[in-house]
Structure formats: C-alpha cells, structure tokens
Amino acid sequence: MNKKYFKYINTFFVVLPMTLIMAFVALIRNYGLKEGAIEKFFNAWIFMFPVAYIAAFIIIPIARSITERVTKD
C-alpha cells in the first residue's frame, strides 16, 4: 500500500467506529430507543464524523508530542 495515504485511511478506521459508538451512547442517554431513534442516530453521526475526522488530524500530532515528552528517558 502507498504510505502516502496511510494516515488518512488509518484515521478513517479509528474515527468511524468511535463516532458510531459515541452517537449511539448519546442517543440512548438522551432519547432512549423510541420511534425515530434511527433517524436521530444518523443525523447525529453524519454531523459528528466529519468534525471528529478533521479534529483527529489536529489532535493526533499534539498527543504524539506530549506522549514523547512524558515517556522520554
């Protein structure tokens, strides 16, 4: 595989399940499984996914830098 796209694909596969889980938990917590729950779930997830995907590219380098400083010998 081309390393050029690795970070974008890897981030996609991290963000996708995380946002699905978060949208499901928020739905259950706020509304329960009532009529229209599936629509509310997808409406929340469609908004969450692009925000989380873009935020991941900002947060991951910062987290890596902090981790390297904390674990430095």
> What is the full DSSP assignment across 53-66?
HHHHHHHHHHHHHH
Residue 73 has pLDDT above 80, yes or no: no
Q: How much is the pLDDT for 1?
A: 64
What is the Cα–Cα distance from 34 to 12, expressed in whole angstroms?
A: 30
What is the Cα–Cα distance from 63 to 50, expressed in whole angstroms?
A: 20
Percent of the chain with pLDDT over 70: 97
Q: Which H or E element spans position 3?
A: none
Give the residue extent of every domain in the chain: 3-71
Give per-residue pLDDT as tens, 35-47: 989 999 999 999 9
Q: Band the pLDDT of 33: cuts 50, 70, 90.
A: confident
Q: How much is the pLDDT for 28?
A: 92
What is the Cα–Cα distance from 38 to 27, expressed in whole angstroms?
A: 9
What does pTM read for this prediction? 0.80
